[in-house]
Amino acid sequence: MKLDRYKSIALLDSGVGGLTVAREIMRQLPYESIVYFGDTARMPYGPRPHEQVRGFVSEIIEFLYTQEIKAIIVACNSATAACSDYYRNGVGLPMLGVIEPGVNAALRYTVNKRVGVIGTTGTINSGAYQKVFQRLAPDVELFEQPCPLFVLIVENGLVATREAYRVAEEYLQPLKEAGVDVLILGCTHYPLMMDVIQEVMGPEVKLVSSAQETAREAKMILEEMALISPNKAGLPLHRFFVSGSARPFIEIATKLLGREVIAYQVVLDQKTSFFDLD
């Protein structure tokens, strides 16, 4: 595939979670165009077998290839954990996940070297964080906790409810007892629950969202490859695609990104016929 600086950066996630990464890309790389894919019809990825998630991701990548892209960000921890093969074998263009950038940020902040990671069941069970910590900082003690209900709370707009606090208290208690000083939000949906998580963990615990760090790494990679879009390229174009109904995605995305979002529904097995349902 011919890469050029005027093409878009692609991001994929099971739903709205990857928008936390998209928002950071828009902030750190304001001249870049974005193509975002949220696989909302098949969300959540967290409880699914890795093989199935890999299948979904390759379908999405095939679709993204038709959209004039120059890099892919897997803006989903569950998909990043399931897709290490892609990183090894390459897909013909730069590809970046969210796990390693999150670990790098946590290592900068931890003082007592007790770090917590929360994520979906798939991410935690994959041992993906453990592997990266072992490689980069074997002296850090890691405490992991799956928080599967957080994704449903976010996707259903229930973040500000008493239920959300109750669930968070229950999930996070073991991490509080472990005395972690840094907590990695190892799921791109979780930054959308940041206030609840921070309140439950207490102000002394530093929360790390991989979004900022991932955008920073994406910028570095594009710079190294001379693929940064020049500002004379004109206003960037941000396009959003979902596999489920567009309306709920549009509502959350518009609020989160603070700009009007139009999203199109894509039928993945008929890749060329996408249409706007709402």
The residues carrying an active-site annotation are 76, 187
Q: CB of 79 within 8 A of CB of 101?
A: no
Distance CA 211, CA 34 (A): 15
Distances (CA, A) of 35 to 97, 168, 203: 16, 32, 36
| Interacting residue with ligand DGL among 43, 73, 227, 252 (CB under 6 A) | 43
Judged by CB under 6 A, the chain residues 129 through 188 that form the site for ligand DGL are: 151, 187-188
Q: How far is the CB of 249 from ligand DGL (least distance, A)?
A: 13
Residues 177-215: b if buried by 16+ CB within 10 A, e if exposed: eeebbbbbbbbbbbbbbeebbeebbeeebbbbbbbbbbb
Q: Name which of 120 and 212 has its Cβ closer to ligand DGL.
A: 120
Sheet-wide strand order for 206-209 = 141-146, 114-119, 182-185, 206-209
- Per-residue interface string for the shown chain with ligand DGL, residues 233-272, x marking contact by CB under 6 A: ----------------------------------------
**How many Cβ atoms sit within 10 Å of the Cβ of residue 16?**
27
The binding track of 95-134 with respect to ligand DGL, each residue x by CB under 6 A or -, is: ------------------------xx--x-----------
**CB nearer ligand DGL, residue 210 or residue 229:** 210
Give the nearest distance from C-beta 129 to ligand DGL in angstroms: 12
Which of residues 77, 126, 212, 214 is near ligand DGL by CB under 6 A? 77
* DSSP string for 155-203: HTT-TTSHHHHHHHHHHHHHHHHHT-SEEEE-STTGGGGHHHHHHHH-T
The residue (of 116 and 119) whose beta carbon lies closer to ligand DGL is 119
Shortest distance, position 18 Cβ to ligand DGL, whole Å: 6
Q: Which stretch binds ligand DGL (CB under 6 A): 3-11, 70-78, 222-230, 260-268?
A: 70-78
Please report how close the Cβ of residue 39 comes to ligand DGL at its closest, in angstroms: 8
What does the alpha-carbon distance between residue 218 and residue 214 come to, in Å, rounded to a whole number? 6
Beta-bridged to residue 116, according to DSSP, are 143, 183
How many residues contact ligand DGL, by CB under 6 A?
Answer: 17
* Contact status: 78 vs ligand DGL (CB under 6 A): yes
Closest contact distance (angstroms) between CB of 186 and ligand DGL is 7
- With a CB cutoff of 8 Å and minimum separation 6, the contacts of 195 are 159
The verdict on 13 binding ligand DGL (CB under 6 A) reads yes
